[in-house]
């Protein structure tokens, strides 16, 4: 599967490395490397792993490429009226398939699922 990861910080970098280790093609869209447009084009799924308050602007700027995509929103808008910006996103990309995941555990738990005795089901290996 081709995964476009928007953001390569703690969450995006950690999940991207895990998916790559599992055999998926991972393309990071960042300010300093491959563009968001290049990372999103042809992706089977897009992970948003950027600051929550930047999501609407990013989606607005790239709505032509994101509409119709499978989008996993791993963001939290801590300073906003809600932890997510789905009402705004769904208007900008009405045919996208939106999912929220990886935003209730810290990146450190994603990096080391057994940290502190926690092992989230979403990170268990069969």
Token readout for 26 is 């991972």
Q: Which residue has the higher pLDDT, 43 or 33?
A: 43
> Rounded to whole angstroms, what are the CA distances from 42 to 59, 65, 107, 120, 121?
16, 9, 26, 30, 29
- So what CATH class is 2-123? alpha beta
DSSP string of 75-119, one letter each residue: ---TTSSSS--HHHHHHHSTTSEEEE-SSSS-HHHHHSTTGGG--
Its sign, for the CA torsion 91, 93, 94, 97, is: negative
User: What pLDDT sits at residue 117?
Assistant: 59
- Where are the domains positioned within the chain? 2-123
Angle among Cα 31, 10, 112 to the nearest 5 degrees reads 155
Task: Tell me which residue has tokens 């979403």.
Answer: 122
Q: Using 50, 70 and 90 to split pLDDT, how confident is the model at 126?
A: very low
Interval 51-107: pLDDT, tens: 999 999 999 999 999 999 999 999 999 888 888 898 999 999 999 999 998 887 666
Angle (CA) 96 99 57, round 5°? 60
């Amino acid at each position: 599967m081709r995964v476009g990861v928007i953001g390569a910080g703690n969450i995006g970098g950690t999940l991207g490395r895990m998916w790559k280790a599992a055999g998926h093609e991972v393309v990071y869209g960042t300010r300093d490397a491959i563009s968001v447009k290049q990372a999103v084009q042809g992706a089977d799924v897009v992970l948003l792993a950027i600051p929550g308050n930047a999501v609407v602007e990013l989606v607005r700027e790239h709505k032509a490429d994101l509409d119709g995509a499978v989008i996993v929103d791993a963001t939290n808008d801590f300073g906003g009226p809600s932890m997510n910006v789905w009402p705004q996103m769904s208007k900008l990309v009405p045919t996208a398939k939106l999912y929220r995941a990886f935003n209730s555990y810290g990146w450190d738990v994603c990096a080391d699922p057994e940290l502190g005795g926690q092992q989230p089901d979403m990170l268990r290996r069969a």
